[in-house]
C-alpha cells in the first residue's frame, strides 16, 4: 500500500509539472484564433459626373400686378340712386355699375330738342324769304344788298340748326353718362359710395375700382451686375441664348409650391433704379382660377440661357472646408477617396453647378461620408435620388442661389 501511494503521488507531481508546458502548446492556436481580421471597404453612394446641356434658371423676387386697372368715376354731376353690382364679382365692359338721377338730364334733353325745332322753323322762314328776295332782285325790284342780307339770314339759320343739334347730342350724352358703366372686364372691388351720395362733375373721388386678373402680370427685378455677367457669358460663348418663344417663366409661392401654368417674358425695362441698382422685368401668366391676386409676393423662375457643357452634382455632395471653400470627395480608379477642391455656381433643382474642379467621368461621393476618411478605400455604389436613378432628371426646378 505504501508503494502504491508513493506511485500515485509521483504521478500527480509529474502532471503538475507538465501543466505549464501543455498550456504553452495551446497558446499559438488561441492567438491565431483571436487575431483581428481586416475590415471590408465601406460602401458609399457615388454619381458619375457627366457634361450635359442645362438651362440656367434664375429665381428672382416679384409681385403680382393686374394687367389693367380702371378707377370708376362719374362724368356728370348728380345724386346716385342705385348701385347695380355686387362687390368682388366679375363684370364685363359695358355692365351697369351705378345710376345717377336721370331727370335733370332728361329735362335738359327736352329743352335742347325744343331749341332745335325752333331753329329749324327759323331756317324754313329764312329759306323762303331768301327765295323771294332773290326773285325780286333778278327783276330789279329790290337792291342787291337786300338779296345779300336775305341769303346771309338763311345761312345764319342753318348754322343755328347745327348748334342746336350739338346741344341735343350733348344733352343725350349727359343722359347716357347718368348710367355709369364698367370700362373694362375684370373684378370690381368695394363700392366706395352709396345711394344718396351727391357726385360732382370731374370729381376725383373713385366710385369703385376694376382690376383685370386674367391674364395677370408678375413684376420682378434683377440686379444690373447679374445681367452684365449674363451678357458677357453670351458674348464669350459660355452660354447660349434661349429663343424668346422657348423661354419659360414660372412662379413659386411662399410655401415652395410651383404655379402650374407657365408664363412668358414680356419685356426688360431699359433703365436701372438709381436707389437699388435693379432692372425691372415683367412676365405674363394665365390666371383662369384667380389664384394669383394683385400684391401677392412670389418668386419668379426664368430661363435666361443654356450651358451646353454644364457639370452638376447633388447638393449634399459638396462639402465646406475650414476656410469656407467648396470641396468634394472623388473615388479614384483604385477605389481610394481623395479630396478635390471645386468652384460652385448656382443651386438649381437640388444640384450644385460646378464651374471648376471636376471633369466628365469622375465619381463623386454623395452619401456615406461618416464611413471613411480621405485616403481610405471604399466600395462605390450608384447613387439614386428619390424616385429617379439620375439626380435632377425630369424634375422641375425648385430653388436657386448664387455664390
Domain end marker among 121, 147, 177: 177
- Same domain for 170 and 233: no
Domain end marker among 157, 177, 197: 177
Per the structure, how many domains does the chain have? 3
- Same domain for 302 and 228: yes
Identify the pLDDT of residue 164.
Answer: 92
- Same domain for 350 and 283: no
Residue 109 resides in a domain = yes
**Residue 396 belongs to domain with CATH number:** 2.40.420.20
Residue 398 resides in a domain = yes
Residue 281 resides in a domain = yes
Residue 144 resides in a domain = yes
> Which residues are paired to 220 by β-bridges?
62, 281
Domain end marker among 285, 306, 327: 306
Identify the pLDDT of residue 242.
Answer: 62
Residue 28 resides in a domain = no
Identify the pLDDT of residue 38.
Answer: 59
Q: What secondary structure letter does DSSP report for 41?
A: P
- Same domain for 313 and 392: yes
> Which residues are paired to 37 by β-bridges?
none
- Same domain for 299 and 243: yes
- Same domain for 229 and 159: no
Identify the pLDDT of residue 239.
Answer: 56
Q: Are 275 and 257 in contact (CB under 8 A)?
A: no
Identify the pLDDT of residue 6.
Answer: 46
**Residue 139 belongs to domain with CATH number:** 1.10.287
- Same domain for 286 and 341: no
Q: Cα–Cα–Cα angle for 47, 48, 50, nearest 5°?
A: 125
CA atoms within a 13 Å half-sphere pointing along the CA-CB vector of 196: 0
Q: pLDDT tens per residue, the chain (403 residues)? A: 444 454 555 555 555 555 554 445 554 544 444 445 556 788 888 888 888 777 777 788 889 999 999 999 999 999 999 999 999 999 999 999 999 999 999 999 999 999 999 999 999 888 888 888 777 767 777 677 777 788 888 889 889 999 999 999 999 999 999 999 999 999 999 999 989 989 887 777 889 999 999 899 998 888 777 777 767 766 666 556 666 655 678 898 888 888 999 888 777 666 777 777 788 888 889 999 888 999 999 998 877 677 767 788 888 888 888 888 888 898 888 888 888 888 887 777 778 788 787 888 888 898 888 888 888 888 888 887 654 434 333 333 433 433 3
- Same domain for 296 and 381: no
Give this prediction's pTM.
0.62
C-alpha torsion angle, residues 376, 381, 386, 387 (rounded to 10): 170
Domain that holds residue 168: 102-177
Residue 192 resides in a domain = no
**Residue 271 belongs to domain with CATH number:** 2.40.30.170
The 3 state secondary structure assigned to 345-360 is EEEECCEEEEEECCCC
Expressed in percent and rounded to 5, the helix, strand and coil fractions of the chain are 30, 35, 35
The Cα 393–Cα 350 span in angstroms is 11
Residue 200 resides in a domain = no
- Same domain for 324 and 281: no
- Same domain for 251 and 301: yes
- Same domain for 360 and 280: no
Q: Which long-range contacts (CB under 8 A, 24 or more apart) does 257-261 make?
A: 258/396, 258/398, 259/285, 259/291, 259/292, 259/298, 261/285, 261/286, 261/287
- Same domain for 317 and 274: no
Residue 88 resides in a domain = no
> Which residues are paired to 268 by β-bridges?
281
Q: What is the DSSP string of 200-246?
A: -TT----SEEEEEEEEEEEEEEEEHHHHHHHHHHHHHTSSBPPPTTT
Amino acid at each position: 500500500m505504501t508503494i502504491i501511494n508513493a506511485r500515485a503521488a509521483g504521478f500527480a507531481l509529474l502532471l503538475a509539472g507538465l501543466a505549464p508546458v501543455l498550456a504553452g502548446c495551446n497558446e499559438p492556436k488561441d492567438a491565431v484564433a483571436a487575431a483581428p481580421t481586416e475590415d471590408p471597404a465601406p460602401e458609399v453612394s457615388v454619381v458619375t459626373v457627366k457634361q450635359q446641356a442645362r438651362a440656367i434658371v434664375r429665381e428672382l423676387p416679384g409681385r403680382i400686378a393686374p394687367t389693367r386697372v380702371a378707377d370708376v368715376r362719374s362724368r356728370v354731376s348728380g345724386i346716385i340712386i342705385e348701385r347695380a353690382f355686387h362687390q368682388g364679382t366679375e363684370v364685363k365692359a359695358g355692365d351697369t355699375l351705378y345710376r345717377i338721377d336721370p331727370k335733370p338730364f332728361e329735362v335738359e334733353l327736352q329743352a335742347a330738342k325744343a331749341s332745335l325745332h325752333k331753329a329749324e322753323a327759323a331756317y324754313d322762314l329764312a329759306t323762303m324769304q331768301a327765295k323771294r328776295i332773290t326773285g325780286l332782285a333778278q327783276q330789279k325790284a329790290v337792291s342787291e344788298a337786300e338779296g345779300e342780307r336775305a341769303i346771309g339770314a338763311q345761312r345764319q339759320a342753318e348754322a343755328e340748326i347745327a348748334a342746336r343739334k350739338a346741344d341735343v347730342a350733348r344733352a343725350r350724352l349727359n343722359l347716357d353718362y347718368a348710367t355709369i358703366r364698367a370700362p373694362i372686364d375684370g373684378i370690381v372691388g368695394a363700392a366706395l359710395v352709396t345711394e344718396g351720395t351727391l357726385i360732382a362733375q370731374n370729381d376725383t373721388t373713385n366710385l369703385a375700382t376694376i382690376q383685370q386678373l386674367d391674364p395677370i402680370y408678375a413684376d420682378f427685378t434683377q440686379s444690373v451686375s447679374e445681367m452684365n455677367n449674363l451678357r458677357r457669358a453670351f458674348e464669350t460663348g459660355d452660354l447660349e441664348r434661349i429663343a424668346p418663344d422657348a423661354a419659360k417663366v414660372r412662379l413659386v409661392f411662399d410655401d415652395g409650391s410651383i404655379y402650374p401654368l407657365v408664363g412668358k417674358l414680356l419685356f426688360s425695362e431699359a433703365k436701372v433704379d438709381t436707389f437699388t441698382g435693379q432692372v425691372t422685368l415683367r412676365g405674363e401668366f394665365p390666371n383662369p382660377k384667380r389664384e394669383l391676386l394683385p400684391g401677392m409676393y412670389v418668386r419668379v423662375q426664368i430661363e435666361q440661357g443654356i450651358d451646353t457643357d454644364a457639370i452638376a452634382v447633388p447638393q449634399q455632395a459638396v462639402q465646406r472646408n475650414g476656410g469656407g471653400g467648396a470641396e468634394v470627395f472623388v473615388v479614384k480608379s483604385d477605389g481610394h477617396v481623395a479630396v478635390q477642391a471645386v468652384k460652385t455656381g448656382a443651386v438649381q433643382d437640388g444640384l450644385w453647378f460646378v464651374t471648376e474642379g471636376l471633369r466628365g467621368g469622375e465619381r463623386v461621393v454623395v452619401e456615406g461620408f461618416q464611413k471613411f476618411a480621405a485616403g481610405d478605400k471604399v466600395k462605390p455604389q450608384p447613387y439614386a435620388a428619390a424616385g429617379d436613378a439620375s439626380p435632377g432628371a425630369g424634375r422641375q426646378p425648385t430653388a436657386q442661389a448664387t455664390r
